[in-house]
Every structure is written in structure tokens, then in C-alpha cells.
A = this chain, B = another copy of it.
Amino acid sequence: MGMGRPRAFDADAALDRAMDVFWRHGYEGATIAQLTEAMSINPPSLYAAFGSKEGLLKAALDRYTEKRDAWMDRVVSAATAHEVAERFLMEHADAQTDPANPPGCLLVQGGLACGTGSANVPFELAARRTRTEDQLRERFVRAKAEHDLGESVDPATLARYLSAVTSGMCVMASSGANRETLREIAAVSLKAFEEQTKP
């Protein structure tokens, strides 16, 4: 028995193209026609490989999360909690205004509210955002154990604050805010972080 005709397209490259479409138009705003054209494949190939539009999104999110995890690993590898926060904020400002990608972040632009047929999409995106927040919190827990952060500091609050600020920066980026503007916001937020961590 044979193994069948091999796939003629690179799945990861296709996912990168799909990611861009979801990012730019949101989950519901992205049509199969747009996706297949961007991926340079036909609908049957898409459905054979990813099952459904939602399956394609999840595959694209997996790939997105993969890259993001690698980035977060570098961020939390900074020596101090303060430097973690600084890198996290500043590199977010840069990433969200990187001309290589649509503005903002896929996990936010992908869709905060969806129709009844796609109700679990916002859920899925929220779960991935929470993951980043968790990574930050764990890093701050460690910083506390290492006496890099004081006893009175709440790692969860710090992580949530940074997560909220970067989400807000996504909203600003989607409205056309430029890199300078986002960096200013990041700088002010970093001041808050400093104030929060040394009383």
C-alpha cells in the first residue's frame, strides 16, 4: 500500500500567510477566499490540512505561540524583574509597529467579540494571552524568591498590569499609533512598574 501523493505546499509557510490575513482582518473578517489566495492553495487543500476555518486559526495560533514563546524565553531570561518589564514593554512597542506584520498583535486583533457561530474563538485567543501573563508572573515569583522583588510585591498584579498595558498598546497600534507613541506609553508604564516594586 502506498503513502499517497505528497503535499505540494509548505504548511508552515502557508500558516504564516494565513496568520497575516487573520491578523489584518480578524477571524470573522477573513474569508476562505482571501486565505486560500494568500496561502496559494485551493480550498480542498486547506480543509484536508486543517479541517476547518477554525482549525486553520488554531494551527496559525500554535505557530504564533511557538514564536512568541521563544521570544518570551529571551525576555524572562533578563537578569532582573525590572529588565524583564523593560524588555517586555519596549519590544512589544517595536513588534506591534513592525512593518513586516499588520499593526498590533494577532491575539488581540484576531477578535475580542465574535458571532454566535464562532463564540469559542475569542476564548481561544484569551487563553493564549493568559499564557504570556502566566510566564511573566512566574518570572516575578522567581524574582521575589531571589529577593530581586520585595516581599510586599504581588507578582500576579505586576504581570496583569504589564499584560493590560501591552493589550492597550495593541488597540492604539490598530488605530495607527506609531512606534514612538507606543514607546512613550511603555516608558510611562515602566515608571509605574518601578514605583510598584520599591516601597
Contact = CB atoms under 8 A, between A and B. Distances in A.
Interface in A91-116: 102, 104, 108-116
Contact of A168 (B126, B169, B188): B169
Contacts of A184: 157, 160-161
A172 B161 contact: no
Nearest to A191: B195
Chain A contact residues, majority secondary structure: helix
Contacts of A165: 164-165, 168
A11 interface: no
A113 B118 contact: no
A26 interface: yes
A166 B113 CA distance: 17
Nearest to A157: B184
Nearest to A154: B184
A188 B112 contact: no
A115 B172 CA distance: 19
Interface stretch (A28-36, A51-59, A64-72): A28-36
Interface stretch (A1-9, A42-50, A144-152, A173-181): A173-181
B161 A126 contact: no
A83 B6 CA distance: 65
A78 interface: no
Given A171-B171, A192-B192, 16 more contacts: A29-B114, A108-B112, A109-B112, A112-B170, A112-B174, A126-B175, A160-B177, A161-B188, A164-B168, A164-B169, A167-B172, A168-B168, A168-B169, A189-B192, A191-B195, A194-B195
11 contacts: A28-B115, A31-B115, A129-B175, A130-B175, A157-B188, A160-B184, A164-B165, A167-B168, A170-B171, A192-B192, A194-B195
